Amino acid sequence: MAARLLRSSLRMSGGRCALRSPPAARFSHSGEEKRLETPSAEKLTDIGTRRIFSSEHDIFRESVRKFFQEEVIPHHAEWEKAGEVSRELWEKAGKQGLLGVNIAKHHGGIGGDLYSAAIMWEEQAYSNCTGPGFSLHSDIVMPYIVNYGSEEQIKHFIPQMTAGKCIGALAMTEPGAGSDLQGIRTNAKRDGSDWILNGSKVFISNGQLSDIVIVVAITNREAHSPAHGISLFLVENGMKGFIKGRKLHKMGLKAQDTAELFFEDVRLPASALLGEENKGFYHLMQELPQERLLIAEMGLSASEFMFEETRNYVRQRKAFGKTVAHLQTVQHKLAELKTHICVTRAFVDSCLQLHEKKRLDSATAAMAKYWASELQNTVAYDCVQLHGAWGYMWEYPITKAYVDARAQPIYGGTNEIMKELIAREIIRDK
């Protein structure tokens, strides 16, 4: 892993964590480190577990956990009221080397591996703070710029994004087109070497705070299919005609700035085109597996968080003279939840390994997203139930986890669309 990652981890923890052995690691007679998998760990959120990680990752994880504990959790309720997190938080994350973790150093990123990026996703889920749109920025928007951008675009945006001074968003969905992206109406027309962009987008995460938005637009209405006439554009905050609408009033994810965006005759220079003209749809298809894996990972980690939260609760809550945890039906429910979570963890970790080797295909990523986000909602439902009425009160973390879970089967492609992708592979003539 990049030395910078390690250095930033040590800086954040004052060097302390390097002296501590990871709590859940065990050593064999030969002294070789044997990492526990989640079923045998004391807690599903323990540091030092899972064979996909190394002790260097553990050090990084300690520092990320500390960041969420100190810089995010204490302010999250206030950001929920504001409907967005502070810009200062983004810059702090940038300073600590927590943005663009999996973006190569030579492009201006941190240069960590995919597992380090996954630690960011997991630790955010363990903090139960869904406000900061870090994963979207670092692991969805930045890869588009790195993979399809010109040298000039990469140089201009990536270092600023790593520093948290430029916040990214991705705008595909429109009021009339979500699942069926080929039905979008936002369009860009040539005017000399410039483009003129018109249209609107909705449900855009990081929309309000965004400095740079990747906008999906039609560039050729005559193409033999709509997919052949779609391009991507980099639209910067402050461009004339780029208007940010209201922050949307959501059921959950209260601290996330999900917004409507409007484009009224926005003049874009030729250099705003991202990737190849009319190849936007193919660029999107290429990048979607990572987005789906990320949603699966965060959903599963949220399940691990909810399980631990509920285990604590039932061990102290009393009913009929004993703790609720003494009731056999409660124990069986916890056994079911833990089994489902750990089985899913094995699958999602294997997807991470495949993706680290660039071998994760679209249908497998779709399975992970569909399965983990459905599980997250089942776990949320059962964990609220095990909390009784306190699970229905906003001040209890499980309540927030419950409402936040609901968006997961919807965005990143609905789970019905995931099943379409999985089914297509099943029945395809090989």
Ligand X SMILES: Cc1cc2nc3c(=O)[nH]c(=O)nc-3n(C[C@H](O)[C@H](O)[C@H](O)COP(=O)(O)OP(=O)(O)OC[C@H]3O[C@@H](n4cnc5c(N)ncnc54)[C@H](O)[C@@H]3O)c2cc1C
Adjacent-strand bridge partners of 262:
200, 243
User: Least distance to ligand X from the beta carbon of 10, Å?
Assistant: 34
Residue 242 φ then ψ, to 5°: -90, 110
Which helix (H) or strand (E) covers residue 213, if one does?
strand 212-218
Residue closer to ligand X (CB basis): 292 or 387: 292
Angle (nearest 5°) at CA 50 between 49 and 55: 60
Residue closer to ligand X (CB basis): 327 or 410: 410
In whole angstroms, give the CA distance from residue 391 to residue 398.
Answer: 6
Residue closer to ligand X (CB basis): 369 or 387: 369
Residue closer to ligand X (CB basis): 116 or 130: 130
User: Least distance to ligand X from the beta carbon of 170, Å?
Assistant: 5
What the block records as the tokens of 329 is 């039906």
Residue 71 annotated as catalytic: no
User: Least distance to ligand X from the beta carbon of 248, Å?
Assistant: 8
In whole angstroms, give the CA distance from residue 272 to residue 319.
Answer: 63
User: Least distance to ligand X from the beta carbon of 102, Å?
Assistant: 19
Terminus-to-terminus CA distance in the chain, angstroms?
Answer: 39
User: Least distance to ligand X from the beta carbon of 116, Å?
Assistant: 23
Percentages helix, strand, coil for the chain, rounded to the nearest 5?
Answer: 55, 15, 30
Task: Give the active site residue among 56, 71, 122, 291.
Answer: 291
What are the residues binding ligand X (CB under 6 A)? 170-173, 178-179, 203-205, 250, 253, 258, 407, 410-411, 413-414, 416-417, 420
Quick count: other Cβ atoms within 10 Å of Cβ 332? Answer: 10
Residue 38 φ then ψ, to 5°: -55, -35
Q: Is 177 helix (H, G, I), strand (E, B) or coil?
A: strand
Residue closer to ligand X (CB basis): 98 or 215: 215
Strands 212-218 and 168-171: parallel
Residue closer to ligand X (CB basis): 135 or 205: 205
In whole angstroms, give the CA distance from residue 334 to residue 404.
Answer: 21
Residue closer to ligand X (CB basis): 208 or 303: 208
Q: How far is CA 302 from CA 61, 167, 270, 410, in A?
A: 16, 24, 42, 16
Which helix (H) or strand (E) covers residue 300, if one does?
helix 280-316
CB 201 within 8 A of CB 261: yes
Q: Is 198 helix (H, G, I), strand (E, B) or coil?
A: strand
User: Least distance to ligand X from the beta carbon of 65, Å?
Assistant: 25
> Which residue numbers are catalytic?
291
